[in-house]
Amino acid sequence: MTTCGALVKVLVLVGRLDLILTTFELVHGVRQVVIVAAGMDTRVFRLGLDENHVVFELDFKQVLQYKADRIHHAEGEVKPTCKYIPLGVDLTVPG
């Protein structure tokens, strides 16, 4: 598979995941989303969820801080429309 082909598959998957999340919210009234190993994902800023929703992002503290710094550097003071709770955790440690 070419790099371009892999990128297209990733973009389609991301788009489908966004659609799944918003559909679940509309149909089932889901109000909380937990993104494990969030990495550089910026879904919380794109979904357009309102203040009645909470998005938790779990990843290493350093990763979340790096992402926050990069977003601030690139976009200034960007805030999600929902409640956003980044949680720095070591996901490699059992229990």
Q: Would you say 40 and 64 are in contact if contact means Cβ atoms under 8 Å apart?
A: no
CA distance 54 to 6: 31
SS3 at position 57: strand
Look at residue 64 in the predicted model and tell me its pLDDT.
94
Beta bridge partners of 87: 58
Q: Which of 32, 50, 35 is nearest to 87 (CA)?
A: 35
Look at residue 91 in the predicted model and tell me its pLDDT.
79
pLDDT digits (tens, 9 = 90+) for 2-61: 554 443 344 444 556 666 666 666 556 778 888 888 888 888 888 788 898 899 999 999
Q: Would you say 33 and 53 are in contact if contact means Cβ atoms under 8 Å apart?
A: yes
Look at residue 6 in the predicted model and tell me its pLDDT.
42
pLDDT over 70 (residue 77): yes
Cβ atoms < 10 Å from Cβ of 79 = 8
Q: 93 or 64, which is more confident?
A: 64
